Structure 1
Amino acid sequence: MEPNIITLTDQYGESVRFELLDIVEYEDQEFAVLYPADGGDDEPVHILRITSENLDLDEMEFEGLDDEDLINAVFDLFCERNDFE
């Protein structure tokens, strides 16, 4: 199975490739769990809120998160859904 690779633009205007590991719904919102596609094994996952989605155009918009409790809750749910401990 080929991974879902998406390209995002960072705050410096640089394109960064990520593997979309999962989309997790939490408290009536959707969050993308991403892993750097070109990173090593010690790279952290990134969790972004999906702010808009247009499936016809295959486009999504994301928002970064500052709330550590929210990040941890979404990550815990991701781990539970995917049998990670």
Structure 2
Amino acid sequence: MAQQALGIIEVKGLVALVEASDAALKAADLQMVGWSKIGSGLVTGFFTGDVASLKAGIDAAADAASQVGQVSAVHVIPRPHDELEGLVEL
């Protein structure tokens, strides 16, 4: 995972995550590598790709998700440490 950046979006509701994921994948050259149910309706999507693509994709995802639900957080990690892969379910 250290070769690619990691993008994360956390939203309230599965519908918002599906909308966000669709927008991200259409907007930029990135891959969705997983998602996780947090609890209390929060779900998080994980994406990989180069930094520029992730920033564009995550921005598009946040815009799309905010139309159908609530965006809790977005973040792009440019060079995640290899051991981070064990922390998130990828």
| TM-score normalised per structure 1 | 0.32
Rg (Cα) greater in structure: 1
